[in-house]
Structure 1
Amino acid sequence: MTVGGARPEDNQTDTYLKRTRYTTFSSLPAGCAAEMISLFATDGAETRGMLYAPAGASRTVVCFSHPRVDVQRHFQIRHFLDAGYAVFAHNSRWLGNDVATTHEHLLLDIAGALRHLRGERGFGSVVLLGTSGGGSLYGFYQAQAATPPQQRLRDLPSGEPIDLPGEDMPVADGIILSAAHTGQGALLGRIIDPSVVDEADPIAVDPARDMFDPANGFRERPAQSRYSAEFLTAYRAAQHERVRRLDAMARAAVAEQRRYRDMLAEPGAEQLSTRAKAEIRRRAVAAKYMVVYRTTANPAYLDLRIEPSDRVQGGIWSAQPEMDNFGEWGLARLVTPRAWLSTWSAISSRARLVDNAAALDIPCLVTTGTADRDIYPSDSRAIHDAVPHADKSLVMIEGADHYLLPSGERGAGRDTRAEAADHVQKWMRERFEA
């Protein structure tokens, strides 16, 4: 997730945030070198990563990645460099554009990176650090890497094959899940607007399922909205039903394309007329995109009794989800059917962190901010509790938002990023040699 504008509470600590919102990479720690590395996955896709090497040899490398966000200037990188660890900031094949992102293919990118770091670079220990969607991505990778090869996934949720059983997938030695949600699909499943009555109409609303209708409990700020238990139960069920409908649309689109591809392989296809063959070929490769409107509609944004925490009112992008929900930008706004099923479907995506956490049999640190508007303390506890390894820790930074910046009354005047860095560095030093 990315910052979409100033928030009202930012004004309370404006000077502080100007000092801490961005991390400068104009200079690195003394003796530190930065090297851009190009890597090729086994399916031929190219990715690039920045290897930051501190002065002196480091036996441990900390890896950053995310399905679409540029991690090469992530604010946490300096924390590890200052502590003497190497860092590999690895951008995915879908950097900056997740329209076609399939998580299963991202695992090939990560596998290639770990093979390079262990083999050609000789690092003895590899620690994965996933922030937000990077957490569910790395959890998915480690779960598959730790699975016996013949039991790994062999296809995408859309049915296309992928050879994870034949992939060399080195396991990591530790994992840090920082402000990690329970999966991009799981996140979207609770913020998608169930009042949509026509997927082709961004405005049409079912009033009974509209969280922004005063009849259902909505109130203008600064008042707090109040949604009844009955409304929330029906609302969550309707969200699930909308995801199910979108899944059906995605699968129908994939099936139609597959039908034309199969036609090309049928006996006699070459005897068809040039015009007929051209029509089939076009339909076999034609890209059909899904436009998913209104994906900023979680009642917990405005009713703070839901998932109680230190957060202030507001959504992913601003303090006005009632406006953002109908705006141009939103998660999963434009996706291919395969990307919807693999990445954004709360039903079909396999990158569900709570499920994959059950295979994280390595030291694990879960850190989160208690003022995060989208990831709640209960999410982080569920992730932590699902990890089977005895060496697991849960650290909640009071008053920190999704970016570990101070938010709300409990964050005012505090350096929440420094607090998080102290916990992470202590955890690392106790387990991994720099």
Structure 2
Amino acid sequence: MVELLGIPMIASASIDVYSGVSRIAGKVWGSLHRAPGGSKTVVAVVHPSSNFLGHYLLPHLAERGIDAVGLNTRYIGNDSTLLMENCVLDIGSAVRFLRERGYEKIVLGGNSGGGGLTALYQSQAESPTITSTPAGDPPDLTKADLPPADGLLQLMAHPGRAIVYTEWLDPAIVDEHDPLRRDPELDLFDPRNGPPFSAEFLQRYREAQLARNRRITAWVRDQLAALAKDPDGVQDLPFVVHGTTADPRFVDVTIDPSDRVAGTMWGPAKQANMIPAGLGHHTSLRSWLSQWSIDDSNCDGPYHLGRTSVPTMVMYGTADQVCFPAHARAIYDAVPHDRKELVAVEGGSHYLQGQPELVAWVADRVVTWLEQNDLRR
């Protein structure tokens, strides 16, 4: 049985969701797949902005006796104004809602970008420290009601949006307003540079990616300072970031080697790098600091996992074109206790699309892990 859950959320004082219907509803949405005979354990799978109502794992967990929820945040389908701190509030609302429904064990599953988010949530639920967004705005998570989860599942996850975004940022773009002006010495798609890429090129490339992220952040800070001079005026602005899918690992599979093939989930990297639907092309000043700024975002998955105490399983696909083995290792190594497990899904792609046998295998493995860690009720 599938039930649509309307979970009351803590509203923001600002208009950060375009839809008036969504704001009036005041809810985040989840889809509950119930196990035959009922379950006192629920696995809630979440992502900052992807629609997980139809997540592939939900019916398979329910068939195996575990209730499962595909959980959305208020930013479903549009992360242009997303604040990671509000996503934490939304997860808190969902965990509290599920506790009130009688679940004795709640496991948060962070899939893809949900990995860093669930780590951030559990860290702040166990020991809150964050009093504002990086722009100095609410919410204050030290005053929020954030019930801790009982376990964490990191599923084909990366360490956090700002971290992976910086790893993907195209440093060859020399003019933020003209993405076709490129530095050939840093052009991932100029065959004179590779692949294969030299160690010297990769070092320069990674340094230039950091530098570009920091240049954008400095510009954002300047813009916010200018807006603040008129406290009754506009306090945020949208802007575009070009070239956000240019990780060298997309074109050179010898870097962080795995079973993946060259390319991305969105096609060849050169094309995916510029498509409007790509990662983080559209954002706002305040969202940039919370979501994409490498120096400002609170969503550093490994750091926050280091502040957690619950059983954690890290699963990664060996053919994943989005989250790489180094991501899984960094996440696993950050967990500070021994109740952790690192599991390779052999041949698994990012969302296991067209791989039903692996979906079943992952579901079986998750249930086994729940049982081994006394998380099944």
With normalisation by structure 2, the TM-score equals 0.92
Counterparts of 2:277 and 2:70, CA distance in 1: 27
1:145 Cα deviation (Å)?
Answer: 0.7
Residues 273-322 of structure 1, C-alpha deviation per residue, up to 9 Å, x if partnerless?
Answer: xxxxxxxx3xx22642121001111111111221111111112411x212
Residues 368-418 of structure 1, C-alpha deviation per residue, up to 9 Å, x if partnerless?
Answer: 101111211121111111101221111001111111347xxxxxx983222
SS of equivalent to 2:363: helix
Counterparts of 1:116 and 1:385, CA distance in 2: 31
**Alignment match, 2:226:** 256
**Alignment match, 2:85:** 104
- Equivalent of residue 369 in structure 2, options 427, 430, 433: 427
**Alignment match, 2:319:** 371
- Unaligned 5+ runs, structure 2: 14-25
Counterparts of 1:193 and 1:90, CA distance in 2: 31
- Equivalent of residue 237 in structure 1, options 195, 207, 211: 207
> 2:159–2:331: 8 Å Cα contact kept in structure 1?
yes
- Unaligned 5+ runs, structure 1: 1-31, 218-224, 262-280, 407-412
> 2:31–2:54: 8 Å Cα contact kept in structure 1?
no
Alignment-mate amino acid for residue 89 of structure 2: L
1:26-425 superposed matches below 5 A: 32-41=1-10, 43=12, 45-118=26-99, 120-147=100-127, 149=128, 152-217=129-194, 225-261=195-231, 281=232, 284-285=233-234, 287-318=236-267, 320-405=268-353, 415-425=357-367
Counterparts of 1:89 and 1:401, CA distance in 2: 20
Alignment-mate amino acid for residue 352 of structure 2: L
> 2:224–2:235: 8 Å Cα contact kept in structure 1?
no
Identity, % of aligned positions: 38
Runs in 1 of length 4+ with deviation above 4 angstroms? Answer: 42-45
> 1:311–1:373: 8 Å Cα contact kept in structure 2?
yes
Aligned residues: 364
> 1:42–1:108: 8 Å Cα contact kept in structure 2?
no
Shift in CA distance, 301/95, structure 1 to aligned 2, threshold 3 Å: same
Range 330-339 or range 341-350, more displaced: 341-350
Structure of larger gyration radius: 1
Alignment-mate amino acid for residue 207 of structure 2: A
Shift in CA distance, 331/337, structure 1 to aligned 2, threshold 3 Å: same
1:105 Cα deviation (Å)?
Answer: 1.0
> 2:228–2:235: 8 Å Cα contact kept in structure 1?
no
1:70 Cα deviation (Å)?
Answer: 1.0
Counterparts of 1:33 and 1:317, CA distance in 2: 30
> 1:289–1:335: 8 Å Cα contact kept in structure 2?
yes
With normalisation by structure 1, the TM-score equals 0.80
Residues 11-36 of structure 1, C-alpha deviation per residue, up to 9 Å, x if partnerless?
Answer: xxxxxxxxxxxxxxxxxxxxx35243
SS of equivalent to 1:251: helix
Counterparts of 2:73 and 2:263, CA distance in 1: 30
CA RMSD of aligned residues (A): 1.8
